[in-house]
């Protein structure tokens, strides 16, 4: 009799996954032994059998099996890891030339078997190790106490059989085939060996992320994608828009298939996604699901990505539900994020029409990334993927920041942009008129989110992002200095007109006023001392609640003294002051 403490797991279905994982380990060990010629080849399968009448669930494998020492060490001591010890022993003795073969076992901590105790009244394990005589089988029995019994058993096939008599109540649901199928579909569907549930194979799809990308067809990807959508309860996703099949062994091992669903997101869906932060990536180890909704693998703005990531380098904790070694996880996150962004950048160049369709659906996620990422290089990597209309291109044609930089004038050091609800309003603006008079290209931002992105980004490729209103304020100030030098304000009538306009509108609306004689279709132009985009953002968010709060903006009104409308005000303010006041309030 051997005493031990029963390990308690938090998640009920875990024991099905763990025992299938153990069976997969045993099959992998046998395969490794077959490769070295130690044992003859045999069948490779995992059988799961449910019996509602007896309230039992049985797991059988045709793997390596266990002898007495294995049973005592692996079943009697929770801290022992049979799989881990097997790998170390095999590599040390150089019995296996291919380390990947030896390491293709996933039970790193040897606790999977003990997950059965949380659902069991009793557990019986029978096993015979490959190569052992027929009368050298063993029977391990636990009847709910703090000890187990180990006895000889003859007439057993090679491999291992685990019979669990389930507790009544919630645990009894695992003697129902449909419930067990759900768990296998979710956690163990892609185990390499066939899994037979009551004689019927349940894992018919290959783990395509383990295959070479050239060997996986479009149809295979679509079938696999639908299986993922089913597992994640996302029936709205029918097929992928983009597919990234990525494998690497450096700096860490990664086997992954990543999908961007072909789907038109509504604002409601985007808001729900932003709130729930569900991630469509699942983390696997040796084809066994370790963690669905693996949020740690991608930044929030990329949580629309669906797929599978399998990395043998990530160690697991006792329950397989939490990941250890955070630096390694951060490295994996960086690898995946860079791969996705680089792939999208490549697709943008390769097929701009398809990419524009993608951007219409997912642009808001990318904008979120620019705003929320802290590192500026990360912000720029995302910003490269954003699309805009430009004053140098016809309406409807889109460009990006990198292309804009290539077209910049030789002496140009800034990137100019303008926020406007529409292109027509943008091109009718006095700010646009001023910047275009110097043949400078302007990017048009039609969505408030675009302006927030530019405020967060600040610069791109070491070139400041400058709103045309800010540029116009600077240009107008320089022009005003020249006019002062030219003694424009010696004309008393014109100075009197500017003073009247300022007094009429009040100091809240007009902090400063200036006149100019620039050829323009616009009678006035308003600038502020602060960034106009930031001011608009404050207005949208309610930070500026009334007119009095506009004082801090320090608005400056630039009056075109050459404009016919302004010229007429000079006499109108004397002959018809009410109409003059109404007119200036309308044009400003």
Same domain, residue pair 318 and 336: yes
Place of tokens 């990531």: 309
Q: Does 379 map to a domain?
A: no
Average pLDDT of the segment spanning 217-239: 87
Same domain, residue pair 64 and 158: yes
Q: Which domain holds residue 460?
A: 388-467
Q: Does 419 map to a domain?
A: yes
Are the CB atoms for 488 and 494 separated by under 8 Å? yes
Same domain, residue pair 179 and 307: no
| Least confident segment among 42-51, 82-91, 135-144, 402-411 | 82-91
With a cut of 90, say whether residue 485 has pLDDT above it.
no
Overall domain count for the chain: 4
- Which of the listed residues 353, 369, 396 is the one where a domain comes to its end? 353
Are the CB atoms for 316 and 108 separated by under 8 Å? yes
Q: Does 114 map to a domain?
A: yes
Same domain, residue pair 214 and 71: no
Same domain, residue pair 169 and 282: no
SS3 409: coil
Q: For the chain, what percent of residues have pLDDT higher than 70?
A: 80
Are the CB atoms for 336 and 309 separated by under 8 Å? yes
Binding residues: 18, 22, 61, 66, 80-82, 108-113, 160, 320
User: Which range, 33-37, 161-165, 322-326, is most confident?
Assistant: 161-165
- Which of the listed residues 201, 222, 248 is the one where a domain comes to its end? 201
User: pLDDT band at 547, cuts 50/70/90?
Assistant: low
Q: Does 412 map to a domain?
A: yes
Residue 92: the pLDDT is 55
Q: Does 382 map to a domain?
A: no
Same domain, residue pair 432 and 575: no
Same domain, residue pair 57 and 35: yes
Same domain, residue pair 50 and 151: yes
Whole-angstrom distance, CA of residue 419 vs CA of residue 60: 66
Same domain, residue pair 191 and 225: no
Average pLDDT score over the chain: 82
- Which of 572, 486, 557 shows the shortest CA–CA distance to 522? 557
What's 398's DSSP letter? -
Same domain, residue pair 422 and 349: no
Same domain, residue pair 463 and 495: no
Same domain, residue pair 499 and 568: yes
- Please tell me which residue, 472 or 424, carries the higher pLDDT value: 424
- Which of 9, 235, 263 shows the shortest CA–CA distance to 113? 9
Is 0.75 surpassed by the pTM of this model?
no
Q: Report the CATH number at residue 193.
A: 3.30.565.10
Annotate 452-494 with DSSP letters as a single string: HHHHHH-EETTEEEEEHHHHHHHHHHHHHHHHHHTTGGG-HHH
Binding residues for ATP: 18, 22, 61, 66, 80-82, 108-113, 160, 320
């Amino acid at each position: 009799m051997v005493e031990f403490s029963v390990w308690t797991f938090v998640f009920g279905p875990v024991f099905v996954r763990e025992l299938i994982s153990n069976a997969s380990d045993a099959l992998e060990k046998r395969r490794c032994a077959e490769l070295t010629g130690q044992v003859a080849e045999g069948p490779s399968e995992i059988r799961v059998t449910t019996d509602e009448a007896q309230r039992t669930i049985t797991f059988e494998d045709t793997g390596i099996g266990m002898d007495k020492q294995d049973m005592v060490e692996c079943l009697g001591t929770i801290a022992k890891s049979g799989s881990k010890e097997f790998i170390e022993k095999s590599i040390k003795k150089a019995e296996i030339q291919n380390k990947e073969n030896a390491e293709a076992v996933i039970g790193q901590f040897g606790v999977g078997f003990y997950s059965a105790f949380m659902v069991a009244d009793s557990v019986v394990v029978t096993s015979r190790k490959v190569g052992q005589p027929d009368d050298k089988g063993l029977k391990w029995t636990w009847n709910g106490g703090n000890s187990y019994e180990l006895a000889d058993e003859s007439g057993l096939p090679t491999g291992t059989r685990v019979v669990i008599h389930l507790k009544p109540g919630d645990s009894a649901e695992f003697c129902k085939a449909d419930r067990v199928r759900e768990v296998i579909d979710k956690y163990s569907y892609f185990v390499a060996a066939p899994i037979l549930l009551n004689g019927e194979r349940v894992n018919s799809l290959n783990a395509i992320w383990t295959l070479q990308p050239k060997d996986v067809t479009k149809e295979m990807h679509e079938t696999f994608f639908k299986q993922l959508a089913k597992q994640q309860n996302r029936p709205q996703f029918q097929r992928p828009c983009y597919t990234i099949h990525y494998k690497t062994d450096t700096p860490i091992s990664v086997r992954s298939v990543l999908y961007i669903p072909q789907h038109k997101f509504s604002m409601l869906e985007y808001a729900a996604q932003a709130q729930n932060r569900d991630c469509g990536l699942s983390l696997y180890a040796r084809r066994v699901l370790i963690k669905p909704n693996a949020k740690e693998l991608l930044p929030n703005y990329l949580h629309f990505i669906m797929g599978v990531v399998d990395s043998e380098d990530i160690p697991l904790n006792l329950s397989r539900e939490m990941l250890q070694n955070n630096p390694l996880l951060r490295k994996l996150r960086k690898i995946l994020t860079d791969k996705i962004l680089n792939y999208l950048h490549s697709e943008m160049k390769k097929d701009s029409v398809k990419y524009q369709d993608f951007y219409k659906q997912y642009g808001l996620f990318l904008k979120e990334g620019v705003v929320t990422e802290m590192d500026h290089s990360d912000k720029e990597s995302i910003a490269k993927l954003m699309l805009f209309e430009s004053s140098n291109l016809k309406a409807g044609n889109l460009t990006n920041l990198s292309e804009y930089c290539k077209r910049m004038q030789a002496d140009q050091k800034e990137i100019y942009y303008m926020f406007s609800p529409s292109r027509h309003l943008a091109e009718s603006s006095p700010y646009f008129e001023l910047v275009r008079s110097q043949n400078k290209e302007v990017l048009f931002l039609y969505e408030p989110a675009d302006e927030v992105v530019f405020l967060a980004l600040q610069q791109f490729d070491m070139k400041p992002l400058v709103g045309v209103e800010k540029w116009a304020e600077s240009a107008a100030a320089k022009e005003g200095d020249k006019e002062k030098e030219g003694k424009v304000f010696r004309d008393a009538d014109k100075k009197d007109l500017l003073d009247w306009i300022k007094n009429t509108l009040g100091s809240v609306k007009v902090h400063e006023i200036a006149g100019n004689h620039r050829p323009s279709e616009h009678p006035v132009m308003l600038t502020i001392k602060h960034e106009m985009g930031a001011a608009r953002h404050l207005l949208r968010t309610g930070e500026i609640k009334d007119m009095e709060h506009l004082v801090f903006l320090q608005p400056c009104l630039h009056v075109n003294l050459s404009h016919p409308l302004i010229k007429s005000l000079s006499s109108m303010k004397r002959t018809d002051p009410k109409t003059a006041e109404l007119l200036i309030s309308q044009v400003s």
